[in-house]
């Protein structure tokens, strides 16, 4: 619920800066290693939107696959779930996660007819 509330608060702040009165959709990128269950987030999002400019808006999520790179040999791979951070080429344990932990607002679609401040 705290993630949904944080998303709603950020979008409401953006709406206030732009003079928008309603939101049609919020699009998020969620890394597959972020520990977020999209279905649970959607449920909580609907509750968090009640009584806000986001009431009735849709939450759309896009999964970002995990990607890791081995420090010593440079090979990149998908670590999977649960993440396997041992290099598939050299079995090294010095992997760097490049992608998959994201939780980012990618886009906000303002409702048709909503007033927007210029700029």
Which positions make up the binding site for Zn(2+)? 70, 73, 87, 90
| Residues 99, 96: Cα–Cα separation, whole Å | 9
The DSSP output letter for 80 is: T
At a CB cut-off of 8 Å and minimum separation 6, what does 5 contact?
44, 48
Element (H, E) at 119: none
Annotated binding site: 70, 73, 87, 90
For 5, the 3-state DSSP assignment is: helix
Distances, alpha carbon 40 to alpha carbons 2, 60, 94, 99, 108, in Å? 12, 13, 33, 22, 20
């Amino acid at each position: 619920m705290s993630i949904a509330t944080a998303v709603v608060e950020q979008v409401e702040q953006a709406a206030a800066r732009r003079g928008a009165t309603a939101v049609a959709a919020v699009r998020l990128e969620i890394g597959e290693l972020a520990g977020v269950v999209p279905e649970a987030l959607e449920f909580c999002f609907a509750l968090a939107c009640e009584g806000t400019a986001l009431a009735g808006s849709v939450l759309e999520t896009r999964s970002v696959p995990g990607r890791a790179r081995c420090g010593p040999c440079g090979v990149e791979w998908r670590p999977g779930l649960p993440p396997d951070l041992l290099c598939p080429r050299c079995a090294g344990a010095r992997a760097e996660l490049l992608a998959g932990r994201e939780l980012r607002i990618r886009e906000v679609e303002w409702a048709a007819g909503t007033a927007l401040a210029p700029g």
